[in-house]
Structure 1
Amino acid sequence: MAVQPVGAPCWADAMFGDLEGAKTFYGDVLGWTFGESQSEYGNYTQAYVNGKAAAAVVPPMPGQEEQPQWCLYFASDDAAATASKIRDKGGEVLMEPMQVGDFGTMCLARDPGGVAFGVWQAGSHEGFEVEMGEPGSFCWAEVFTREPEKSDAFFPAVFGYKAQQMQDDAMDFRVYNLGERPALGRMKMTEDFPPEVPPYINVYFSVENCDDAVATATKLGGVLRFGPMDTPFGRFAALSDPQGANFSVIDVTRTEGEMPAMTDVS
């Protein structure tokens, strides 16, 4: 895939205390294979689908042994300028822009409601290589937050999104678009989420068969949080891996129902 436009999700990685366990789990559930750990970059290990980069896993640095969680990166053509904009719009820069060899420049940040994410200015590493929708690929992501008004003000201001609100009284869901292309969803967390669960970005990975992926994940110690469920976008399920990182799987070839009505809000 070519370099993604500014604001598009372009990469995902996660820190795992048990790196080999994570490789086994995601290898079996998503069909990933893994490259050599790059010791000069903290044993950063890329995952591949048919030889194309899909995501990465990495062990935590000393003192950073926190709850594992997937981090989604958004494309930038100037990471330093994006970091400045993040601050200007009320966000927090957790890690200043840092050049990673000739691969590119990364930055880690949080929105005003506490949702963590990354920024990636591509060098030789342009991000996802697997075509979206191919089994094992990153497919979609949603901001889960208890303070949707903060995310709704922040993300469009930083990345230039236009927003649409789903017309559904049962849930508060919004889509952030880049031009005509949906880039990211935003879901208000309900009381169904335990208070200790922080706001986060939930990443979706494509699978050939949702039910088979769920069966494999739970057999390997993963926890089914929701689903499987048929939607107009595909059959999906929400899971936690054995180390506690949340993610979803979706079979985009199996769709059911009509697309929901959306209203432009910005």
Structure 2
Amino acid sequence: MAVQPEGTPCWADAMFGDLEGAKSFYGDVLGWTFGESSPEYGNYTQAYADGKAVAAVVPPMPGQGGEEERPQWCLYLAARDASATADRIREHGGQVLMEPMQVADFGSMCLARDPGGVVFGVWQAGSHEGFEVIGEPGAYVWAEIYTREPAKSDAFFPAVFSYRQRDMEDDQMDFRVYDLGDRSVLGRMRMTEDFPPEVPPYINVYFAVEDCDEAVARATKLGGVLRFGPMTMAFGRFAALSDPQGAHFSVIDTTKTEGEMPKLTDVG
């Protein structure tokens, strides 16, 4: 089994009150197909792009997911030892929302919140190693921490996962990149006043698509809301959306690029 470096984004899932609605929406927008729900694991349902596991959807557990609770994509970061990672999370000012638990032979997980309110997951792989493909149409490709308190995230995540940090040289935004070795694995964006106050800090997950504009058209036709874009940059043509149940996500076509790559400056 390949062990990913600690802190590597390795899986994503979301809880939806209308599970069939979510499956229909993402199936149409991202081309996902779905496996059988697992009643013994709360009807956890894996999504596939071209036959490879890329994410999962799940209905609320009893007592969870009331109408006031907006669905949210949860990004999981790889850990060699979920319990040790949970200890570091607490040590550096984070909150463990769900204590480490073994999920059959699939692996161990916990859920946590950083000091600025960003919720994320931790996954210690067993037989389920995480994403079976990255960057291909329908699959995860990138994620960014959206926070109103960037200093807290910048102190917390690198302390827990040993990220190296680099700042983007851009007067228009406060954006930082977290690296593992020579690989960039996460972005961190300061939330400006453009974000409504009722939108909590979150991790924005990007899924690759063959055509950004077509994906946006499909999403909005099905009741999704376009939040930003489409816009073309050096990384690709992308757009930020929310699905009909309110979960935020982004789509990106990495084959359409424009302009120079932004300069990044080491900050530790």
- TM over 0.5, yes or no? yes
**SS of 1:150's equivalent?**
helix
Q: For residue 79 of structure 1, what is the amino acid of its counterpart?
A: A
C-alpha RMSD over aligned residues: 0.9
Instruction: Give CA deviations for 1:138-195 in whole Å, capped at 9, x if unaligned.
Output: 0000000000000000000000100000111110000000011001000000001111
Q: For residue 199 of structure 2, what is the amino acid of its counterpart?
A: V
On the 8 A contact 1:234/1:255 being kept in 2, the answer is yes
On the 8 A contact 1:176/1:185 being kept in 2, the answer is yes
Over 2 Å off, 4+ runs: 1-4
Identity of aligned residues (%): 80
Deviation at 1:71, TM superposition (A): 0.1
For 2:171 and 2:83, the matched residues in 1 are separated by 40
For 2:104 and 2:149, the matched residues in 1 are separated by 37
Which residue of structure 1 lines up, in the alignment, with residue 216 of structure 2? 214
Which residue of structure 2 lines up, in the alignment, with residue 247 of structure 1? 249
Q: 2:164 aligns with which of 145, 157, 162?
A: 162
Deviation at 1:50, TM superposition (A): 1.7
On the 8 A contact 1:3/1:127 being kept in 2, the answer is no
* Matching of residues 84-233 of structure 1 within 5 Å: 84-130=87-133, 132-233=134-235
Q: Normalising to structure 1: TM-score of the pair?
A: 0.98
Q: Normalising to structure 2: TM-score of the pair?
A: 0.98
Gaps of 5+ in 2: none
Instruction: Give CA deviations for 1:12-68 in whole Å, capped at 9, x if unaligned.
Output: 000000000000000010010000000000000000012110000000112211210
Which residue of structure 1 lines up, in the alignment, with residue 258 of structure 2? 256
For 2:257 and 2:62, the matched residues in 1 are separated by 44
For 1:92 and 1:165, the matched residues in 2 are separated by 26
Q: For residue 115 of structure 2, what is the amino acid of its counterpart?
A: P
Matched length: 265
Which residue of structure 2 lines up, in the alignment, with residue 80 of structure 1? 83
Bigger shift: residues 78-87 or 48-57:
48-57
Which residue of structure 2 lines up, in the alignment, with residue 71 of structure 1? 74
**SS of 1:85's equivalent?**
helix
Q: For residue 31 of structure 1, what is the amino acid of its counterpart?
A: G
Which residue of structure 2 lines up, in the alignment, with residue 35 of structure 1? 35
